[in-house]
Every structure is written in C-alpha cells, then in structure tokens.
Amino acid sequence: MSVNVGPLAACCDIGGTKALIGFVDPQGRILARDRYLLGSAREPREMVAELADRLHGLASRADIAWERIVGMGYSTAGMMDVESGVIFASPNQGSWRDAPFKSLLGQALGVPSWIEMDANAAALGEAWQGVGVGADYFVYVVVGTGIGAGILVRGEVYRGWRGTAGEIGHTTIDPNGPLCNCGNYGCLEALASGPAIALRARGAILQGRRTAISELAAGGEITAETVVRAAREGDLVAQEILAQAAEYLGIALANIMTLLSPQVIALGGGVMHGAGDLLLEPIRRAVARRCGSWVDLESRRILLSALGEEAGLLGAARLVWKTR
C-alpha cells in the first residue's frame, strides 16, 4: 500500500509542557509528526481546539488528505475513565474537573476518539512496535518527573477496579524514606524520580560534599540530567546518587517481578532515556539480588524502551487500530 492512500490514525501524547502529535498507519509507521508547547489555554475545549488546529496544519504540510483520518487517540497524564472518555483531573493542566475529552475530541475532529493514561499508552506502543512485542505479560515503567507503570496482559491494559492500577511510583519502598507529594513516606517516586535525584544532589552540595554538579549546572537549575552528566564525567557524588536511585528502582522492579511475573519490563521516561545503561545495569543487578530463585530471571528481560518518546504517540494510535 502506498503511503499516500489508506486509513490513518491521528494521535497525540500530551505531556506536562509539550504535546507530540502525529499520523500513524495500521502498520505502525509514523507518516508525519510534530510537537508544540502547551500554551496557557488549559481549559479542555480550548486544548482540544488547539490540538485540532495543529493536526489540520500538520496534515496540510505533510500533504495528508484529512479524509484518510479514521480515528483519534489521545494519551495524557491524569485520572480518567477510558470507557466514558471522561478525564477527572490532570496534573499541570488547569483546575478543571470531569471533562468529557472523548466527545470533545470527536466533535472537534469528526472521527471516533479514544483516551488513555500516558503510562498505559506507552505500554501499548511498546507492546505493538517496541520491546514488548510478543510478551503476554508486559510492564512498562516510566521514570521521569513522576514514576508510573502500564501493565499489559495479552495486549490488554490491566486497570483494576475503578482504573487506578499501575501506580508503582507510590508503592512504599523504604518505610522510613522521605515524604512524598502523595502524603506517604518512602514512595518510589520520592526516592528515584527526576526531582528526587535532583533534590539529593542539592542536598549533597548543601552538605559541602566535593562534586562538580553545581559547576555543570552553570548557575541554572540542577536537574537529574545534570547529575547524569556529572556521573558520566566521573563525579563520585553523582555516581553515588544514581546508584542509590538504581537500588530503589531495582527493588520496585523486583517487587513487580515477584507479584506480577512479567516476561518483559521496559523502562522509559526522561530519566531513563537520559541515563540509559548508567541506570539500567545497576537496576538489573539489584533486581537479581532482590528476586527469589524461583523467578527465572535469565529467561525474562529488563530493557530500555525501544521507542523513546514515541512510545506514547504510537500507543495512542494503537487505541484507534485495536478497536476497529
């Protein structure tokens, strides 16, 4: 089939500050893609109107006839009911509540639409076109500003009752650990997310430890990315901070292995994409130490996401194709 004919899915992955949009064919090829910064217009109807504009503009520039678009897939953070298509609330996106995104999208774009939580969408993308292909039991863990997981069983999202499953970032890893945004102490997110890594680095500097992290930040904000750069340049404090984060991530992944027994765990999100093997290898070693012998780790895989930031976009497209 030519790339100039045939049905296409419109899709987007809405992050905290930017949106990734694109058109994807039934074979998972991204025929066009774009990104834009999310403006201050954060009311649902305005967000959807801007998205429709951006998609029409992209289609026009890529010479894609709008008639080819057969559905829309929308991935975002937040609590939602994917059946009714209502998003109850979304972090960093205004103070609105209970917005009917599925029908707003359908009205604005004129095609059937589906919504999904970002970690679930990334899991669907990775299971469709990435390292989760062929795995009946697959977990995708996103490590970035937050930490979450998408759990797939034979290609279907495991949602749990009322759809709140997968919040690995808020499982307790160290009962005496630091306070988390959620009110609990010692959550994985408070120990190993990007902000947690950055906080640890600032703490080390305040303690007067000898490190090049401040220098690398060059007066800007210290982020997990600064810590990763310092570690790559041999900074011992940065390496120690990442080793600690890897240990906590390893415990969480071992708990997933022990409780859910996936064949493949994929690791994505900004922190993992930035750190790569620097985190992956110590995470694997920690999982091996923390799993009982009956978990046949030699036949299971813990891998970096193959799709990177496109996992969510492809997963959003998958929403369209899997229900047609």
In the complex, which residues of this chain contact a copy of itself (CB under 8 A)?
79, 135-137, 149, 153, 158-168, 170-175, 182-184, 247-248, 251, 254-256, 258-263, 289-296, 299-300
Tokens of 51: 């998205």
Q: What minimum distance in Å lies between the beta carbon of 296 and a copy of itself?
A: 7
The nearer residue to a copy of itself, 214 or 263, going by C-beta atoms, is 263
Alpha-carbon span 97 to 79, nearest angstrom = 10
User: Residue 158 and residue 174: Cα distance in Å, rounded?
Assistant: 26
Q: State the nearest-atom distance from the C-beta of 213 to a copy of itself, in Å.
A: 25
Q: CA-based Rg of the chain, rounded to a whole angstrom?
A: 20
Whether 66 and 60 have beta carbons less than 8 Å apart is answered as no
Least distance between a copy of itself and beta carbon 15 (Å):
20
Q: Which is nearer to a copy of itself, 272 or 287 (CB)?
A: 287
Nearer to a copy of itself, 83 or 277 (CB): 83
Between 12 and 188, name the residue whose CB sits nearer to a copy of itself. 188
Strands (E), the chain: 8-14, 18-24, 30-37, 69-76, 79-81, 86-89, 113-117, 137-143, 147-153, 156-157, 264-268, 301-304
- Please state the closest distance from residue 268 (CB atom) to a copy of itself, in A: 18
Beta bridge partners of 19: 14, 36
- Give me the least distance between CB of 256 and a copy of itself, in Å please: 8
Of 92 and 164, nearer to a copy of itself (C-beta) is 164
CB closer to a copy of itself, 239 vs 255: 255
Please tell me whether residue 266 adopts helix, strand or coil conformation: strand
What are the CA-CA distances from residue 233 to residues 24, 216, 217, 274 (Å)? 39, 10, 13, 14
Least distance in angstroms from the C-beta of 290 to a copy of itself: 5
Taking the complex as a whole, how short is the minimal distance between the CB of residue 200 and a copy of itself, in angstroms? 16
5 SS3 class: coil
Where is 151: in which H helix or E strand?
strand 147-153
77 burial type by CB count under 10 A (0-12 exposed, 13-18 middle, 19+ buried): buried
Q: For residue 143, what are the β-bridge partners?
A: 147
Q: Which C-beta is closer to a copy of itself: that of 59 or that of 115?
A: 115
